[in-house]
Amino acid sequence: MSGTESWANFYVMVGGASAALTGLILVAVSLHLRAILGHALYRDRAMASLQGLVTALIVSGAVLVPQPLNALGVEIGLIGVLWIARYLFFVRLYRGTTPARRAALRPQEWVLWVAWIFAFIVSGVLLVAGEPGGLYILAACTGFGLALVVWNAWVLLAEVSG
């Protein structure tokens, strides 16, 4: 018994919501595809939104698979490492973009994304150690991540439409 059984309803709900939101964001992005593809930071913001939702789907699936907490922790930690790599890619992209095209991106956003990634790493470490409290951090991280991704997609659409 890994302790994840009591989280099943939560992660079924998160997985379903993530799948539905992924479809909605794909439609919204496709309606503004030319403008999004023509701007490196818009393109990255769209990808971050989609990748964040797919991350929530993967996390939901990982929690629902019967496995020991430490195996789940390794999976969550790997997701955190992938997001660190993705974040470093974004920083390189941002630095290579002209200041005029950076105008819509606020530094406060960076802090939110880093906090989200940090929460993944912390929950992964706790789960690898067999600490069930890591599931609470993971749930908070998942909920915060969904809110962050939806907000990110809204800002993208406002930027593109404005």
Rg (CA), the chain: 17
Residues 6 or more apart from 162 whose CB is under 8 A from it? none
Count of positions (residues) in the chain: 162
Q: Where are the domains of the chain?
A: 5-161
Distance CA 23, CA 127 (A): 31
pLDDT in tens, 79-122: 999 999 999 998 888 888 777 766 666 777 888 999 999 999 99
On whether the CB atoms of residues 62 and 72 are closer than 8 A, the answer is yes
pTM as predicted:
0.90
